[in-house]
Structure 1
Amino acid sequence: SFISSHGEDIKKVFINILLVADEMNLLGNTTFALDGCKLPSNASKEQSGTFKDLLKKKHTLEQKIQKIVEIHTVQDEKEQDKHDTEIYTTLPEKKQKAINKMNQKIQKIDTFLSNNEPKIGKRKKESQSNITDNESSKMKTGHGVIQGYNGQAMVDEKHQLIVAAQAFGKGQDHSLLEPMLDETAHTMASLGKGDSFIEGKTFIADTGYFSVENLEVVQQKKINAYIPDQNFRKRDIRFENKRRHVPNSDKKIFRDQFVFDKDKDVVICPAGQILLPSRGAIRKLSHYSYKTYHTTKAICDACLLRGKCLKSEKSRWRNYQVLVADDKPDVIRNMIDKIDSHEGRDMYSKRMGIVEPVFANIRTHKRLDKFTLRGQSKVTIQWLLFCIVHNLSKITNYGM
């Protein structure tokens, strides 16, 4: 009730606190870092599924009810034969309660299916819905899969104040960059910074936000962005000796121990065997084309290095892929060159120190371990409230 009736007021409080922070010169207003914090919501992931899955659950519940009734009917008939009289007994209270609960679940499923449409994902496939909170979604985290929301925060570098915050029912970050940039621009306009404040400012985000669409967005908005691709660490000379930190690295064979002979179009493995191009060797992905090489199953089975080379005993052979074509758009090439530069590496290294302590503070010290409300609008206000408390603590520590 409080959240529903005071949502807009809470947003105004968030803006007013940032105004106070800005007057105290606690905002740097030059460099910002964006990231998300995935938290469970007040919804059960067992209540999730496609419409086909939900219909299957309903059918299963109906079968369970039917089975309980059938078993009770058989027991009644046995009692009648035993006493040679008609005996009609009601279901035991425990079984009747179980049936009532299952009927309630069936009713919930029926109501949900009749009042909602299937969720269609980015790839035109149906995504899982949730009966309890259909705006939440299943998300992969470091602690397993949760049913929850992704709390996004745009953080100013100077004192880690949050300048924009919003919760989304999406586990992937790549579609959330543009709405968070727009939210940041709206906040700064409310602080009197002007409608074009974000132009020329530096924004840092991790690989989860890397996509052609996002790079085009920051280019259009004239933002100095640093968003690395998924392979940027492999190109970083500072990680050349990373293998020494890999457990049991002496018991594994790595890719760089293979030799590619471009003239003969073959690959030579550490055991001296020749890997030939596979049938239909060239495989085209979004912006790359790879050629795959491997030897035969018989050769790999007889190899003394098989245990080190293959990931699993069930693996048939070791594949080796060579990049044969690269048609990356200019926005990707430019960002890769930018990240691989000395300035880019230095700038991106600041990201973790800017945004990660914010989530540690909110989750550990402010003790937000789950969202207790349902619906994206209400969860966003709850997320804002915790961001407000975080910002107040920053003002107390650095502004007083």
Structure 2
Amino acid sequence: MDAAFDPWSPEFVADPYPAYAELRATGRAHWFAPTRQWLIPHHADVSALLRDRRLGRTYTHRFTHEEFGRAAPDPAYEPFHTLNDQGLLDLEGADHTRVRRLVSKAFTPARVERLAPAVRRLAAGLVGELVARGGGDLLALVAEPLPVAVIAEMLGIPEEDEERARLRPWSAAICGMFELNPSEEAARRAVRASVEFSDYLRELIARRRREPGGDLISALVGVEELTEQEMISTCVLLLNAGHEATVNTAVNGWWTLLRHGVRPDPAPEKLSTAVEELLRYDTPLQMFERWVLDDIEVGGVTLPRGTEVALLLGSANRDPARFGPTAGDLDLTRSDNPHLTFGAGVHYCLGAPLARLELHALFGEVLRQAPGLRLAAEPVWRPGYVIRGFEQLLVEV
């Protein structure tokens, strides 16, 4: 295992791509002792393993902790695990099939499409405020408020509820547990946020049972086969996954555009192609972890049952074996672009259409209202690697 892969190094977080190139050049599966994971850097392998049912986000649908050779989670973290383990991202087997089918009945393409006018209106207003200020933090003023407001609108969280303002802090605290070897303090924050967010959603679900509306929670309440915990976990996942993907793609994407001195063509079809390239070029979720449920071979290396794989999405999306000699280049007109940013297989991101809708609106409005956007200061990366993004992005218009 090459020492260049160092997910706790600020230098690596700022630019992991040279280390990925070394990993791809030296093998298909690399054991990384600090996290006890197999690193998988190639597009073909990552794509195949995302679809391989010999891997799973969890193993408890087939094994006890003892049978799998793993310690049971710390009971102090139980609220986080109850919330996380009942969400679509971590369910496996028959439970995943059942919940995804039921949630898909409520989270329909038509429901997402109905949000389009509101998304465009929100994006236009947020960018307009940034322009009126003469600039500021693109992350805090535009990229973060948009997906949080959209999810709040979709879930039917009333504007007068003070909890609306807590959605972003709750999401950030819970997502802290997805980093490699999270600290005790990060775990405590995640547990506290899990309890508070779950309690609020439980109360909101009770309200919607009494007074249903046209929102997603009301639709989920109407799906009788879903448990209350599954509804809560679904709502939290929609916020966390949708928020992180949109925010980091938008902010990392604008940093990429500004750094390269280029702009997408604002025509809808060409802008759509450019957004897909930004999703590929600097992937918001760099790593997706899965357990090995049955021995599996990758490149002549046996990955034994009970170990964990780290599928390096960021590396796969820059693999010349799939994207050719320009894999490391930004090409806003790239048409052949099977990036893995939204995953693949049964865990393909259910919210991908909503994320794309938000990103098209956000990039389109900035291009329209702030064509002269420029960096006001060099940004600083947050310390997290798995969900990789900036502390802020200061711009001028």
TM-score (norm 2): 0.22
> Going by fraction, where is strand more abundant, 1 or 2?
1
> Going by fraction, where is helix more abundant, 1 or 2?
2
TM-score (norm 1): 0.22
**Structure with bigger gyration radius:** 1
